[in-house]
A and B are shown apart, each in its own frame.
Chain A
Amino acid sequence: MADEAKKKVPHKKLPKQIYQALEYVVGKRWISEKRSLVETYSKLSIEGMTYVRKHMRDAAALPACVVLPNSTEEVQGVVRVCNRFGVPFIPFTNGQVFCGTTNAEPTVIIHMSRMNRIINIDADTMVATLESYVDYAQLQAEAMKLGLWNGGTPLATSLCKLSSQFAFAGLWQTDLKYGLLNRNIISVKMVLPDGEILETGTRCLPGAGDFWEYGPGPDLMGLQRGGAGSNGIVTEISVKLHPWVGGTELPEVPAGRPSLADVHDPAYDSPLPPDNHRLYWIEFKDLETEIKTMREISHSGIAIGLNATGVYSAYYCSQTQEMTWERCKNKFFPDYNCYVIIAGITSARQIEYEEKVLKIIVERNGGTFLSEEYKPEVLEALKPWNLDCIRHTSGFRMNRKMYASAWLPVGPFEVGKKTQQFWNDALNAFGQCDITDRGGADDTPFIYALQRGRFSFAETDNYPDPTNPQEITKAAGFGIYGMARLVKEKVCPCLMAFLNVEPLVTMFPEVGPNQHLLFQKIRKVFDPKSVNAPGRQVWTEEEWKNTPPQLKGMVNAMRQMVGLDKVE
Chain B
Amino acid sequence: MVLIRTKVSPMTIKKDDKKVFERELEDYRDQVWGCARCNWCQNQWGWSVKSAEFSEICPAFHEYRFFPYSGMGKMHIARAILEGDFDYEDAPELAEFIYTCTTCGACEMNCQRLQDKEPLKVNEALRARLVRDGIGPMPAHQTLIKSVKHYDNPWMQPRSQRDKWAKKIILKDVSKEKAETLFFVGCTTALDSTMTGVARNTARLLLAAGVDLGTLGKDEICCGSPIARVGDRETFIALAKRNADILNKTGARKIVTSCPGCYRALLHDYPEVPGAAPIEADILHTVEYLDLLISHGRLILANEIPMRVTWHDPCHLGRHCGIYDAPRNILKAIPGIEFIEKERNRDQSWCCGGGGGARTAFPEFAAKTAEKLIHEAKTTTGADAIVTCCPFCEINIGDILRRSGDSMKLFNLVDLVAQAAGVNEK
Contacts and interface: CB of A to CB of B under 8 A. Distances in A.
Contacts of A262: 322
A295 B108 CA distance: 42
A467 B29 contact: yes
A356 interface: no
Interface stretch (B46-54, B153-161, B172-180): B46-54
Nearest to B325: A256
Contact of A40 (B33, B47, B65, B73): B73
A244 to B, nearest CB: 14
B94 interface: yes
Contact of B115 (A37, A42, A391, A400): A400
A432 interface: yes
A421 to B, nearest CB: 20
B321 A261 contact: yes
A431 interface: yes
Contacts of B11: 321-322, 325, 401
Given A94-B37, A396-B114, A434 B9 contact: yes
Nearest to B116: A321
A135 B39 CA distance: 11
A320 B111 CA distance: 11
Interface stretch (A137-145, A170-178, A197-205, A371-379): A137-145
Contacts of B52: 116-118, 134, 138-139, 141-142
A256 B324 contact: yes
A250 B347 CA distance: 16
Interface string A144-179: 010000000100111100000000000000000000
A37 B113 contact: no
A253 to B, nearest CB: 7
Q: Is the contact region of chain A dominated by helix, strand, or loop, or is it mixed? A: loop
B44 interface: yes
A118 to B, nearest CB: 5
Interface string B25-52: 0000110011111111011111111111
A6 interface: yes
A553 interface: yes
B16 interface: no
A82 interface: no
A260 B46 contact: no
Interface string B69-80: 000110011011
B10 A325 contact: yes
Bin chain B's interface residue count.
Answer: 35 or more
Interface stretch (A470-478, A509-517, A532-540): A470-478
A80 B143 CA distance: 48
Contacts of A258: 109, 113, 322, 347
Contacts of A470: 4, 6
Contacts of A145: 51
A1 to B, nearest CB: 9
A18 interface: no
A39 B346 contact: no
Interface stretch (B83-91, B230-238, B353-361, B407-415): B83-91
A19 to B, nearest CB: 15
A433 B6 contact: yes
Contact of A400 (B12, B97, B108): B12
A36 B93 contact: yes
A133 B6 CA distance: 39
A157 B73 CA distance: 19
A22 to B, nearest CB: 15
Contacts of A322: 11
A291 interface: no
Contacts of B97: 36-37
A11 interface: yes
A468 interface: yes
- Main SS of the interface on chain B? loop
Contact of B34 (A257, A325, A431, A466): A466
A471 B116 CA distance: 21
A95 B38 CA distance: 9
Contact of B50 (A114, A118, A249): A249
A11 B86 CA distance: 9
Contact of A37 (B35, B39, B68, B347): B68
Query: Chain A contact residues (Cβ within 8 angstroms of B): what range?
Result: 35 or more
B242 interface: no
Identify which of A95, A400, A431 gathers the most chain B CB atoms within 10 Å of its CB: A400
Contact of B77 (A39, A118, A431, A465): A39
Interface string B6-19: 10111111000000
B139 to A, nearest CB: 19
Contact of A253 (B47, B116, B268): B47
A259 B10 contact: no
Contacts of B89: 35
Given A260-B319, A467-B29, A402 B34 contact: yes
A319 B116 CA distance: 8
Given A39-B86, A114-B65, A142-B52, A471 B6 contact: yes
A9 B115 CA distance: 28
B1 interface: yes
B416 to A, nearest CB: 23
A41 interface: yes
Contacts of B320: 259-261
B45 A393 contact: yes
A268 B348 CA distance: 13
B37 A45 contact: yes
B321 A156 contact: no
Interface string B308-342: 00000000001111111100000000000000000
Nearest to B77: A36
24 contacts: A9-B86, A34-B90, A35-B94, A36-B80, A37-B90, A37-B97, A40-B68, A94-B39, A111-B65, A138-B51, A156-B38, A258-B322, A264-B112, A321-B12, A322-B11, A391-B47, A392-B46, A396-B36, A430-B3, A431-B5, A434-B8, A466-B33, A471-B9, A474-B3
Given A39-B86, A261-B321, A392-B46, 13 more contacts: A9-B85, A37-B67, A134-B52, A137-B44, A141-B52, A156-B39, A262-B322, A400-B36, A467-B33, A470-B4, A477-B1, A554-B1, A557-B1
Interface of A: 3, 6, 8-9, 11, 30, 32, 34-37, 39-45, 57, 66, 68, 94-96, 111, 113-114, 116-118, 134-135, 137-142, 145, 153, 156-159, 249-250, 253, 256-264, 268, 271, 319-322, 325, 387, 391-394, 396-397, 399-403, 429-435, 464-468, 470-471, 473-474, 477, 550, 553-554, 557-558
Interface of B: 1, 3-6, 8-13, 29-30, 33-40, 42-52, 55, 65-68, 72-73, 76-77, 79-80, 83-87, 89-90, 93-94, 97, 105, 108-109, 112-116, 268, 318-325, 346-348
